[in-house]
Chains A and B, each alone.
Chain A
Amino acid sequence: MANREKWGTKLGVILAVAGSAVGLGNFLRFPVQAAQNGGGAFMIPYFIALFFLGIPVVWIEWAVGRYGGLFGHGTAPGAFSKMSKSRWAKYLGVIGIFGPVVIFIYYTYIESWLLGYMFFSLTGKLLALTTAAQMQGFLQTYQGLAPQSNLLTAYIFFLITFGLNFWILSRGIKGGIELLCKIALPMLFIFAFIVALRVWTLGTPDPAHPDWNIMNGFGYLWNPDFSLLLNSKIWLAAAGQIFFTLSVGMGSILTYASYLSHGDDIALSGLTAASTNELAEVILGGSIVIPLAFAFLGPLGTTAAANSGAFNLGFITMPLIFGKIPLGELFAFLWFALLFLAGITSSVSLMQPAVAFMKDDFKFDHKKAMWILAIITFILCQAPIFFLAHGVLDELDFWAGTFAITLFAAIETVMFVWVFGIERAWEEIHHGAELKIPAFYKFIIKYITPLFLFAILGFWIIQQGIPILFMHGVAPQDVPYIIATRVGMIALFLVIAISIKIIWQGKKLS
């Protein structure tokens, strides 16, 4: 316990948590969600979800992590075992290791595409493409999905990205993750601000369409449609967006907080990290994609681009538009660079729970933990790379990136508030706090936040989980790949659960 790593500075841990939270979703998912769900009116449920769901879960996850760290545990199984006397409690924490590892497996591959696109932006190869079909073809060739294409280029960028992640992780908490976030997060904000400034000053780029201008682009995103406020869909969309954007339920914040001392503040630090994430999302994320798309594609084109998904918007629509503005190569590079920085500060946080588990519970030294995890995850990463066309990445994304994180957040909240007890939970959050949380939050944390979480979980299970479970819409030739992916995920889950059983048996004997 005495040898556990610690953060260097308070600002360092805040930036690391903010770096974990700021991801691709801030710049791609948020503006699309807002534009599709009532524009400015979306911000009403969005802020309600932020203050009643997001920030309380952030405080819970920080508090659970710091509490576990007190006993030398950096992951959920150890923390839960100290919060409940039940021998089953530790097994509920398995998801807190399983989820981030599975997300890391496909997230690093997507992150490597951003690195590749940074390179192709600078060489001019990307912006030489002038139609959506060409851009789509380029992406498919890069991914090895187009006929007679190969994965060599994508694989080289993946190797660089994967190596970079483990190099940073190998340098530890203070010299690796904290240093990365202290450099990368300010750079990300500077890059995003430069791109946003270019967007704000574009005016009316096409005189043939005077209505297609940046101001109307902001109107497309912000003009409220109040009628939609009566629709439960936008309330769930807002809650889902808040949940995703703050990176709660992944186990990463829990692990990061475990490297704090028990007297360190979490109330103000948690709120600061969350508000930094919001700054990136609403102000910068809301100022780039949609206004830019509107000014060049008009209302119908923007709607079509938004409906094609956040991913296409980032990789196809944005480079196409950058190709039409002066110094487009530079702005395209800054765009993909900021997304890459957002990606890498998140991906290192996804692997840290597994690193902590290896070191705290298996008692491996740092080097050994790094090598074991690098080998295991490298092998697992091959599935979404080589079987992308068969839906492996999407399958991993739903079960780990949507289902597991929501379930884990619900479990974590119930464990902390109801099993550990609201009085102890409240005291734990306030221990060393540099911010007095208003008393009404005690009621919110106890009743409203769990209700919110179970509503999201139930909604996603019914709307997405059941069709995905029964493989509705999956092509017959892809079914074996989907089944193999599920078998792999179950095997990984069981390996972690059995490891926990063996570790705790060892503890009992010793």
Chain B
Amino acid sequence: MNLFGWIFLIASFTIIIGLNIFCFYRVLTEPEEEL
């Protein structure tokens, strides 16, 4: 894998993991209530 491959892999993984952590942090820190 070349340098650009690594850059794209790391950037893509970071965007997705970051977005997921942000979303679940917000969901799980809101008080859970019966819908």
Contacts and interface: CB of A to CB of B under 8 A. Distances in A.
Pair from one complex: yes
Interface of A: 6-14, 39-41, 43, 47, 215-216, 218-219, 222-224, 260-261, 264, 268-269, 271-272, 275-276, 278-279, 282-283, 434-435
B33 A10 contact: yes
Contacts of B23: 268, 271-272, 275-276
B13 to A, nearest CB: 6
B9 A218 contact: yes
B12 A282 contact: yes
A9 B27 CA distance: 11
Nearest to B1: A219
A9 B32 contact: yes
Given A40-B8, A216-B1, A218-B5, A279 B20 contact: yes
23 contacts: A7-B35, A9-B32, A10-B32, A11-B27, A11-B28, A11-B32, A40-B9, A43-B12, A215-B1, A216-B1, A218-B1, A218-B9, A219-B1, A222-B8, A224-B5, A261-B35, A269-B27, A271-B23, A272-B23, A272-B27, A278-B19, A283-B16, A434-B27
A15 to B, nearest CB: 11
Nearest to B35: A7
Contacts of A41: 8
Interface string B1-35: 11011111101110111011001101110101111
Contacts of B12: 40, 43, 47, 282
B13 A283 contact: yes
Contacts, number: 88
B35 A43 contact: no
B17 A283 contact: yes
B contact face: mostly helix, strand, loop, or mixed: helix
Nearest to B22: A275
B1 A222 contact: yes
A278 B23 CA distance: 13
B19 A223 contact: no
B4 A223 contact: yes
Contacts of B13: 282-283
A279 B23 CA distance: 12
A171 B7 CA distance: 47
B26 A40 contact: no
A14 B1 contact: no
A224 B34 contact: no
Nearest to A263: B35
Nearest to B3: A223
Nearest to A219: B1
Contacts of A13: 35
A264 B30 contact: no
A276 B27 CA distance: 13
Contacts of B15: 47
Contacts of A7: 35
Contacts of A223: 1-2, 4-5
A434 B26 contact: yes
B19 to A, nearest CB: 4
Contacts of B19: 271, 275, 278
The interface centre, meaning the residue of A12, A222, A271, A279 with most chain B CB atoms within 10 A of its CB, is A222
B11 to A, nearest CB: 8
A10 B24 CA distance: 11
A432 B4 CA distance: 42
Nearest to B25: A272
B27 to A, nearest CB: 5
B5 to A, nearest CB: 4
A320 B17 CA distance: 32
Contacts of A39: 5, 8
Contact of B20 (A11, A12, A275): A275
A10 B34 CA distance: 8
Contacts of A275: 16, 19-20, 23
A269 B2 CA distance: 37
Nearest to A218: B1
Nearest to B30: A434
Nearest to A216: B1
A68 B4 CA distance: 47
